[in-house]
């Protein structure tokens, strides 16, 4: 009986390893200097395009093509494929500025967005490779286009050497599932009693684990012969889950340390608050002791007015309802001061009476006082 079991397990392992041993990962290059100058590409209706950028050109550079990004450039390719064709997107490039690289399938229509398709990379003079798994639900049907968004604070010079689509073998898919399970979702503030579930291939890990757990529970309760091994495996599942939760907990703390505790005051950024607390301190130091209320115009969280009310008490914070002569503008690109009439204007027209900017935090954040 034991020999039969060993033969069965060995045959299953062979079936699992056979693709690894016999098949190389299939690869299709969709961007490179050679690809973009090939007759196959030049004669094709599918052409790479640059959007949301003043300069829409690509320039020859050492080992690649240079994209001069204004800070939020989109590189779009109208190429139809699905996760049945390819499992991974690989980008080889370097940049002179830190970047967020965001993949947006069907950017002109649904523009799917998920944290699995968002990576932050450091500036480097040497080429680096980043990979995005395509084993996600919205890649199951053929796409109309694939967009790569390069986002940076200052403009960036990005040299792209190669972009390719690849098939993964069985071992690579198993490794990707493990990476997915330990990929921590970005911290989400203002949620109550909600913990993001670990995901595998874009779905809750419970979808894959629950059938196994139910079988093990049944074996533990009703199959005395397998009760001990079932209990050991169930304990292993519990240990793995606890390890994953602890890893998530400490990853948030490490991120906070790197972005808020370690940097100097001018560079601190706290989760989705970014520099809100630094701005609040600056505002408290620049308001007059005679100011009893401020008109707060804010771009960001709907919770910012209430937080600001706590931070600058006893000054009253009135959110986007003119009442008084002090206007506090925070990260609003649509509100500008017009020196000609000395008034604040937004897209609807005049926002204030004549006055002056009494203090500036940055170009889009300042204190304005009516005369």
Q: For 69-113, write each residue's pLDDT tens digit.
A: 999 999 999 988 888 899 999 999 999 999 999 999 999 888 888
Whether pLDDT at 185 is above 90: no
Distance CA 49, CA 225 (A): 63
Q: Cα–Cα distances in Å, from 339 out to 20, 326, 355? A: 68, 17, 10
Cis amide leading into 314 (omega within 30)? yes
Whether pLDDT at 167 is above 60: yes
pTM: 0.75
Dihedral sign from CA coordinates of 270, 157, 117, 334: positive
Whether pLDDT at 24 is above 70: no
Provide the pLDDT confidence category of residue 138 given band limits of 50, 70 and 90: confident
DSSP 5-30: HHHHHHHHHHHHHHHHHH-PPPEEEE
Distance CA 135, CA 221 (A): 36
State mean pLDDT over 228-236. Answer: 94
The CATH fold of domain 25-169: Jelly Rolls (2.60.120)
Q: For 301-324, write each residue's pLDDT tens digit.
A: 788 999 999 999 999 999 888 778
Domain boundaries along the sequence of the chain? 25-169, 199-261, 275-370
């Amino acid at each position: 009986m034991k020999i039969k079991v060993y033969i069965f397990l060995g045959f299953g392992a062979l079936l699992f390893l056979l693709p690894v041993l016999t098949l190389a990962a299939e690869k299709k290059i969709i961007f490179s200097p050679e690809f973009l100058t090939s007759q196959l590409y030049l004669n094709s209706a599918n052409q790479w395009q640059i959007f949301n950028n003043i300069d829409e050109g690509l320039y020859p550079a050492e080992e690649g093509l240079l994209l001069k990004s204004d800070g939020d450039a989109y590189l779009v390719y109208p190429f139809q494929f699905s996760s049945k064709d390819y499992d991974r997107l690989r980008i080889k490039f370097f940049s002179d500025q830190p970047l967020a690289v965001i993949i947006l399938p069907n950017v002109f229509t649904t523009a799917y967005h998920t944290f699995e398709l968002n990576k932050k990379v450091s500036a480097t003079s040497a080429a680096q490779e980043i990979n995005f798994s395509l084993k996600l639900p919205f890649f199951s049907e053929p796409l109309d286009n694939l967009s790569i968004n390069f986002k940076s604070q200052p403009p960036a010079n990005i040299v792209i050497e190669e972009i390719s689509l690849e098939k993964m073998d069985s071992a690579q898919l198993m490794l990707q599932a493990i990476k997915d399970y330990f990929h921590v979702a970005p911290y989400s503030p203002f949620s109550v009693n909600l913990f993001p579930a670990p995901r595998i291939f874009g779905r809750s890990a419970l979808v894959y684990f629950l059938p196994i757990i139910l079988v093990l529970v049944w074996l533990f309760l009703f199959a005395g012969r397998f009760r001990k091994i079932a209990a050991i495996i169930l304990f292993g599942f519990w240990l793995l889950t606890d390890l994953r939760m602890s890893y998530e907990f400490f990853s948030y703390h490490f991120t906070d340390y790197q972005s808020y505790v370690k940097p100097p005051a001018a560079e601190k950024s706290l989760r989705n608050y970014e520099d809100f607390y630094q701005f609040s301190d600056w505002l408290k130091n620049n308001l007059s002791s005679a100011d009893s209320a401020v008109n707060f115009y804010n771009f960001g969280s709907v919770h910012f007015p209430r937080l600001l009310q706590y931070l600058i008490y006893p000054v009253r914070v009135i959110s986007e309802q003119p009442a008084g002569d002090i206007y506090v503008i925070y990260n609003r690109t649509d509100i500008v001061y017009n020196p000609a009439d000395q008034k604040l204007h937004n897209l609807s027209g005049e926002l204030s009476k004549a006055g002056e900017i009494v203090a500036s935090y940055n170009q889009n954040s300042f204190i304005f006082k009516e005369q």
